[in-house]
Structure 1
Amino acid sequence: MKSPYPILVLVGGAAIGIATAAIAMSAQDNKPASPIFKVTVPDGYRQWQLIAPAQEGAPLNELRAVVGNTTAIKAYQRGAQPFPDGTVLVKLAWKHEQSPEFESASIPGAPTTVQVMVKDARKYASTGGWGFGRFIDGKPADEAQHRTCFACHEARAKARDYVFTRYAP
């Protein structure tokens, strides 16, 4: 079992780097991970670049935004498919609500899910190279929900490397 406390060997200024790396690994190990794929919500994803917004109709009635890490953004900009390993996409979803200020406008209501796709062709070879995570209030959804991820992507987006979202101009 890993200790949450790093063991430091002081060698000049190197101890600071060792401490930082050990703490980062310790924090990563404690993050809730999705069943099956062991995907976690990436740190700092809310600062990532927008790929595209979307609106999901009934029965979900959600507003969504998909963001991507630098690898994802570069791949979208180049039109590269399949996406390279290291691509991470995060979909944020909120209940669709009517704006109190504008009759014709929608606004995000309560958050519903954060969904994550991670590309690693070797690790996730049986699911088109993608690992999936669906989180509700920061906790992973159950295994049954995660078993539906790839089947849905395979049925509807196989020709686009299993990714629904297209880059918004």
Structure 2
Amino acid sequence: MALGASASLFLTLALPKVAAGAGQPAAAATSPVYGVRLPKGYRDWKLISVAQENGKNNDIRAILGNDIAVKAFRSGKRPFPDGTVIVRLAWRYQSSPRNDAVFPAPQSFVAGAPTNVQVSVKDSKRYVASGGWGYGQFENGHANQDEQLTRSCFACHTNLAQSADFVFTDYSR
């Protein structure tokens, strides 16, 4: 899973409030390797932080969390408790000619086309081999079925200090 130095994360079948999209076949709704699904209602979750990734990703991101995640982020609790779910939404980073027409110089950038949604779920018993985290990446509401991509999530997260509990994002105040 392509990750930047500021965000990403994922979700599991074992947690409540996790549902496949309406009419989605089970295979399309569940990520390979970890069995992660998009959590129901995640777009209404609280904002944890935002990020911008340049280079190959060229995107802007919003990092959201369920109530367990938000409480842990706000209190600085690490490792994160089981049941933590973090969702990273990404869009192409693009200039806004409409907004720039109002300003004295080009300066406005906005979310363009969506790229993917990444979900991280903390379950220390289920995901022992990946530091207690399960991962999934979704495009257009469907789980990306590329096992190599999904396995690369944890490999990237292991580059973080142990004190971060494999999480790139810090809570933005």
TM-score interval, normalised by the smaller of the two chains: 0.7 to 0.9
- Counterpart in 1 of 2:113? 110
- Counterpart in 2 of 1:155? 159
- Structure label with greater radius of gyration: 1
Structure 2: state its 5+ residue gaps. 1-18, 101-105
Is 1:119 matched up with 2:116? no
The answer as to whether partners of 2:135 and 2:153 remain within 8 angstroms in 1 is yes
- Counterpart in 1 of 2:47? 50
Deviation of 1:84 after TM superposition, in Å, equals: 0.1
Deviations 1:55-92 (A, max 9, x none): 00111100000000000001111110000000000000
The answer as to whether partners of 2:79 and 2:163 remain within 8 angstroms in 1 is no
Q: Answer 1 or 2: which has greater helix percent.
A: 1
TM-score by length of 1: 0.81
Sort the Cα spacing of 1:98 and 1:116 in 2 relative to 1 into closer, same or farther, 3 A.
Answer: same
Q: How does 1:19-168 map to 2 (within 5 A)?
A: 30=26, 32-100=29-97, 101-102=99-100, 103-141=106-144, 142-168=146-172
**1:56 & 1:158 partners in 2: Cα distance?**
23
**2:54 & 2:25 partners in 1: Cα distance?**
36
**2:166 & 2:136 partners in 1: Cα distance?**
15
Deviations 1:16-61 (A, max 9, x none): xxxxxxxx89x79947100000000000000000000000011110
TM-score by length of 2: 0.79
Sort the Cα spacing of 1:98 and 1:113 in 2 relative to 1 into closer, same or farther, 3 A.
Answer: same
Larger relative contact order (CA 8 Å, sep ≥ 6): 2
SS at match of 2:160: helix
Structure 1: state its 5+ residue gaps. 1-23
**1:129 & 1:147 partners in 2: Cα distance?**
14
**1:158 & 1:44 partners in 2: Cα distance?**
30
Count of aligned positions = 145
**2:160 & 2:71 partners in 1: Cα distance?**
24
Instruction: Provide the identity percentage.
Output: 48
Alignment root-mean-square deviation, CA: 1.9
Amino acid at match of 1:125: V
- Counterpart in 2 of 1:17? none
After superposing on structure 2, the runs of 4+ consecutive aligned residues of structure 1 that deviate more than 3 Å are 27-31
The answer as to whether partners of 1:157 and 1:163 remain within 8 angstroms in 2 is no
SS at match of 2:70: helix
Deviation of 1:139 after TM superposition, in Å, equals: 1.6
